[in-house]
Amino acid sequence: MSATVIGLALFAAILHASWNAFLRTGSDRLWTVTVMSFSATIAAIPLAIFHPLPVSSAWPYIVLSGCLQVGYSLFLVAAYRYGELGQVYPIVRGSVPLLVTVGGFVLAGERLSTLQTLGVVLAALGIMSLSLGKGRAATKSILYALATGVIIAAYATVDAIGVRSVGSSGAYTAWVLLTYGVLLPVTFIICRGKLTVDFRSPDALKALG
């Protein structure tokens, strides 16, 4: 693996951790995660324009992935309602590699060697162990964190299968983000009645940034 790939992976990990930290400190986390989704939606528009439409067989995967990512957002918000960042985040991220491995085997028939499986298990347990020593986490936060991990693993598995049917990862990603970008605000409105965003407010600017 090249230094560039490793660097990009580390940068993505830092961004994701920062995203979670910002979400955890928000006063209205459902509003925050909804507004945060606007940036991804805007970025997806040119991708969708400059790529051909996905083939018809890809749309069930695109819609399912978008729905699962809405579920991920809702469960993550719920997990942070009951637990701290240091308790929730390691459980969410640590459970994903193990669950993706299981999902890949069950749904796509992907098999890992014994050594590879052992490596995945050790990595998952190592990451999840970081939640220890942060005080006793509430049972609800643990359950929501594990459910969030399950949903992440589910949409990762769906995406792995779906992108193969498209042949273009750019087109697939764009339409998943657009689907998510439509469904999450709709979900917010269903839950709260309306979505109000003052794009000049500091909270909105931080969420969009």
Name residues whose C-beta falls within 8 Å of residue 37's C-beta, 6 or more positions apart in sequence. Answer: 73, 180, 181, 184, 185
- Per-residue pLDDT, 121: 79
Is 38 exposed, middle or buried, given 0-12, 13-18 or 19+ CB atoms closer than 10 A? middle
**Residue carrying the six token digits 């600017």:** 205
- Per-residue pLDDT, 117: 76
CA atoms lying within 13 Å on the CB side of residue 36: 20
Look at the chain and report how many structural domains it folds into: 1
Residues 10 and 188: their CA atoms lie apart, in Å, by: 32
Helices (H), 51-130: 59-82, 85-108, 114-128
- Per-residue pLDDT, 2: 43
Going from the C-alpha of 5 to that of each of 108, 145, 182, the distances in angstroms are 26, 28, 31
Q: How does pLDDT run along the chain (209 residues), one tens digit per residue?
A: 444 444 544 545 566 667 677 677 767 888 888 888 888 899 899 989 988 888 888 899 999 999 999 999 999 999 888 878 777 888 888 888 788 787 777 766 677 777 877 887 787 787 777 777 656 667 788 888 889 999 988 888 888 888 887 777 888 999 999 999 999 999 999 988 888 877 777 767 776 66
Supply the pTM of this predicted model: 0.81
Q: Tell me which residue range forms the domain holding 170.
A: 3-208
Residue 171 one-letter amino acid: A
